[in-house]
Structure 1
Amino acid sequence: MTSATKEVAIELLPLIRVYKDGSVERLEGTPIVPPSPDQDPETGVSSKDVTISEDPSISARLYLPKLTSHNQNQKFPILVFFHGGGFCIESAFSSLYHCYLGNLVSQINIAVVSVEYRLAPEHPLPAAYEDCWAALQWVASQSAGNDKDPWLTNSGDFERIFIGGDSAGGNIVHNIAMRAGVESLPCGVKVLGAYVVHPYFWGSKPIGSESKEVHEKSLPSLVWNFVYPSVTGGVDNPMINPEGPGAPSLAGLGCDRLLVCVAGKDLLRDRGVWYVDMVRKSGWKGEIELFEVEGEDHVFHIFNIETENAKAMAKRLASFIFK
């Protein structure tokens, strides 16, 4: 039976369509591309895929900068990265994120572990949160050496571990940082900093420039209810609304530094600014920075990596990491 004749159960345009027979059609997202274990010809960055867990299925793409006589014995900061895509599209292995992260690594000389977490609706939330926490635990466990991944044990600096992500990935970063505040990681490893880009936060009450008329039917509301149908409190659950009922204090964020990026034209811009204000008021003891790029839309820097504004974001991340 072709998709033209199948009955649609749920349609979440422009992202995804679910049919009554249970099949899923992802309308957006970019194709999967292989890693470049022997260095990418353009950037010199090496990448490879690793399995973190067979059950559940969690994997990651690792990136290392070009090794030269000057840096081959150097230890690079490690960025554990969570991709965006509304928890339901895109991949750590997609051309979009492969190009973005390869370019980023070549610009700022860090090691990256880009996590391939399970997607909704086949795996509704909290699957993605659990997978990303498991991946961070796996990275921390590499610090023990022995039969671990040689790329990380030889080239990774486990004193400088950062977590980062954009959009839904930015939401994951927040939730993983909160978890790191109450649960310890293997080998005593700590998260030094969190890089939260155009984060996907929402709530039932509009803030700032958000439209009161269409708030409940807006894409952020619809996506959350689609990817986490069983959640208590809907869009006021603390996982998406950090000041929702019963939300833990943001003073518990389990990292020392926080860089939050927003874009002037982004629908989610005001939520990112509001998040920074909430963290500042919470009594959290770390350092927080807000970086805004005027005139740009949601995750512009992922789609247009060569623009001056995208390069400015990479430079800001570099200054944050190498502080």
Structure 2
Amino acid sequence: MASIDKEVATELLPFLRVYKDGSVERYLGSPIVPPSHEDPETGVSSKDITISEIPTISARLYLPKLTQPNQKLPILVYFHGGAFIVESAFSSDHHRYLNDLVSQGQVVAVSVEYRLAPEHSLPIAYEDSWAAFQWVASHSMDNYADKEPWLENHGDFKRVFVGGDSAGANIAYNMTMRAGIEGLNGGVKIVGTFLTHPFFWSSKPVGSEFTVEHEKSLPCRLWEHIFPGAPDGIDNPKMNPLGPSAPSLARLGCSRLLECF
């Protein structure tokens, strides 16, 4: 018989299991890999940086092979997927994807490492992501100290883009909405946002979504666990952009929006 401190408190399979002693066992997620200097397949260089010590926010930066020493490139702020509870900006899947994306798109990319639930319940991931986004935007200001050289020397702050996959696409959408409402440091504007398989949900099934016990679906149970007490529950504007209290889409802070399913 298992001891009381290792009894299961919650299961969110196939993602993780939470025990009553507070420990978390994750079952999904690709392994962590180091950054690379000139990736052999793409020529993209990457490095890890610390954005904030308190709270702990970090990122992996990517720079394509330059054709000119002082070449200016569009900036991409990217948020990784993983249902808010698995994966990392430093995981092999996202590292490989960002290498390809940066090489083909010829952009400077900042892949944000936000804190994960359930150890850090939402809205912490959103606050970490907003702090990282504002840090990037601050590099457009002449009086900002301690600038990151890749952003300072090669970033074009008139061409800023935001993107993400799954939960990262959810974050990218919410960062774009917040930028439209509150504004970014230095008056930076987002040219475009792309959402790849965005993690959105609602209390009512849409289209071909299953209808039997919808409120007991994995997304509903997941949201309840990672954002306990969220106003409006699964219809919170951060999960349901068309929910009853969601701001108008007209307030989105980007010129173009691409959504891919």
Q: Fold match, TM over 0.5? A: yes
Q: Work out the percentage of aligned pairs sharing the same amino acid.
A: 66
Aligned-pair distance for 1:147? 2.9
1:194 match = 193
Q: How does 1:169-208 map to 2 (within 5 A)?
A: 169-208=168-207
**Amino acid of the structure 2 residue aligned with 1:13:** L
**Does residue 61 of structure 2 align to residue 82 of structure 1?**
no
**Correspondences of 1:1-323 after superposition (within 5 Å):** 6-36=6-36, 38-67=37-66, 70-144=67-141, 147-262=146-261
Task: Name the SS of the counterpart of 1:81 in structure 2.
Answer: strand
- How far does residue 224 in structure 1 lie from its aligned partner after superposition? 1.1
**1:180-223 per-position Cα deviation (integer Å, ceiling 9, x unaligned):** 11112111211111111111111111110011114222221121
**Number of paired residues?**
258
Tell me the CA shift for residue 6 of structure 1: 2.1
User: What SS does structure 2 have at the residue aligned with 1:48?
Assistant: strand
Q: What do residues 128-166 of structure 1 show as CA deviations (whole Å, max 9, x unaligned)?
A: 100111111000111235530101111111100111001
**Alpha-carbon distance in 2 for matches of 1:55, 1:256:** 33
Task: Calculate the aligned-residue CA RMSD, in Å.
Answer: 1.7
Equivalent AA in structure 1 for residue 114 of structure 2? Y
Q: Which range is displaced more, 119-128 or 184-193?
A: 184-193
- In structure 1, list runs of 5 or more residues that go unmatched: 263-323
- Structure 2 portions without partners, runs of 5+: none
Instruction: Measure the CA separation in 1 of the matches of 2:26 and 2:68.
Output: 41
In structure 2, distance between residues paired with 1:51 and 1:221: 33
Rounded Cα–Cα distance in structure 2 between residues aligned with 1:162 and 1:95: 23
Tell me the CA shift for residue 243 of structure 1: 1.8
Residue identity opposite 1:126 in structure 2 = P
CA shift, 1:174, in A, is 1.2
What is the one-letter code of the residue matched to 1:205? K
Following the alignment from structure 1 to structure 2, what is the Cα–Cα distance between the partners of residues 245 and 92? 33
What TM-score results when the alignment is normalised by the length of structure 2?
0.95
